[in-house]
Amino acid sequence: MQQQVIIVGGGMVGLSLALMLAKQKIAVKLLEAIRYPDYDDANLAPYHSSFDARNTALSRRSVQIYQKLELWNALQQHATPILQVHITEQGSFGKARLTAEQEKVESFGQVIENAWLGRVLLTEVREQTLIELIDGIEVTALHQDAEKVFIEAKRGDEQLSLSSQLVIAADGRDSFCRQALGIGADVHDYDQVAIVTAVQTSKPHQHIGFERFSELGPLALLPLPGEYRRSVVWPVKKGTESEWLGEDNDQHFLNALQQTYGDRAGKFEKTGKRFSYPLSQVLAHKQAVGRVVLMGNAAHTIHPVAGQGFNLCLRDADVLVRYLLQQLATSNDIGQPENLLAYEQARLKDQQRVIRFCDSVVRGFSHQNPILKLLRNTGLIAFDVIPGIKPLVANYAMGLKA
């Protein structure tokens, strides 16, 4: 079968999209710059640049997408459902609570470690005959004409020239493809670094996810497989991360968690190795140019405060596949530019809503002005008691009203 699509970038979005296309009998050439790990031990998932120490809270819609790909049984072994969400601010009276039972859903989503999500996706990709996986390859040039997109790349000493009717650029926040196309981007540095790790607490997590706004930053504590394991994502001011990293700071980090959360999780007993990731918002000016479409962080990188980034990317990928199938139903030209522009327009409303929400939460809770604190805590109380608000917000958070 003729190669129809090239995907540049083999992270979680690129792998997921390749599987979506292969399921629809569309051949894929998937290019990834970093060599993938070999999985010799069934009980381990070594880190890769795209499958790192972070965790992903898969929304209900994302779970449905993986169910459609017949991958959920493999993923569920490494995932933990969120049955309740508690939102509070340290030292303030406001609080809000969402429960899956009250909203009449099985769960609000599932938390999975990126290393395991990546391992399951990569294992499945390697088994697909319609996907040609090329890792350790660096794209050095990209240009297009009216008929095709052309890529120059190198792999070690080998030079490669590739072409396709359609190229999907999923090559990350600093996308080479985006720059090669001359697509600009709006960049906002949050002046924050996310501290990420897993901890053990004396109280079982009971499938509760906490979002705790503190003076240090918005702290997320989510359940992980294992009754007492929880993931921590704590954005702190850039330049202070050394205070929290390294084995010598284990107890200092645990003490800070304890002070921020109180006894809601019991005692914070152990912490894993901490990792840090700079946080910024990067929004491409265009997502479709000619026969190239941007996907994942190349299109929009957002703050992790509400856990919406990957879920938004997965919805993008799901909709793109639908548009490509519609195009193939009437033409052999899968990369028809007008169809890609139609996809971009179709996704803007959902993207802009999520981007505005995440950005407003970060900005709104970063100010310690007493009047603003009063307003936002009053808002949390209103969210908790006014009928009709919770189901609406819950459905958006689960990706069911995109």
Burial (Cβ within 10 Å: 0-12, 13-18, ≥19) of residue 62: buried
Has residue 392 got a pLDDT over 80? no
Mean pLDDT of the chain, nearest integer: 86
Helix axis angle for 12-23 and 114-126, nearest 10°, is 40
Q: State the pLDDT at residue 377.
A: 46
76-85, 159-168, 176-185: the lowest-pLDDT one: 76-85
Average pLDDT over residues 78-93: 78
Give me the sign of the Cα torsion angle 237, 241, 242, 247.
positive
Has residue 386 got a pLDDT over 70? no
Long-range Cβ pairs for the range 316-324 (8 Å, 24+): 316/347, 316/351, 317/13, 317/16, 317/17, 317/20, 318/20, 318/65, 319/343, 319/346, 319/347, 320/17, 320/168, 320/293, 320/295, 321/17, 321/20, 321/21, 321/24, 324/21, 324/24, 324/26, 324/166
Nearest 5°: the CA angle 153, 172, 303 is 175
Total-model pTM: 0.88
Q: Which superfamily, per CATH, for 3-362?
A: FAD/NAD(P)-binding domain (3.50.50.60)
Any residues with CB less than 8 A from the CB of 201 and at least 6 apart, and which?
228, 230, 265, 266, 267, 268, 269
User: Which tokens in the block code for residue 343?
Assistant: 């996809």
* Bridge partner list, 235: 194
Break the chain into its structural domains and give their ranges.
3-362
Has residue 398 got a pLDDT over 50? no
Q: Over the stretch 147-175, which tens digit does the pLDDT of each residue have?
A: 999 999 999 999 999 999 999 999 999 99
Q: By C-alpha distance, which of 198, 246, 179 is closest to 54?
A: 198
CB atoms within 10 A of CB 13: 27
Q: State the pLDDT at residue 365.
A: 53
Average pLDDT over residues 365-390: 48
Q: Over the stretch 305-333, which tens digit does the pLDDT of each residue have?
A: 767 889 999 999 999 999 999 999 998 89
Average pLDDT over residues 262-267: 87
Burial (Cβ within 10 Å: 0-12, 13-18, ≥19) of residue 26: buried
Has residue 47 got a pLDDT over 60? yes
Q: By C-alpha distance, which of 88, 65, 87 is closest to 75?
A: 65
Secondary-structure breakdown of the chain: helix, strand, coil percentages, each rounded to the nearest 5: 35, 30, 35
Q: State the pLDDT at residue 359.
A: 78
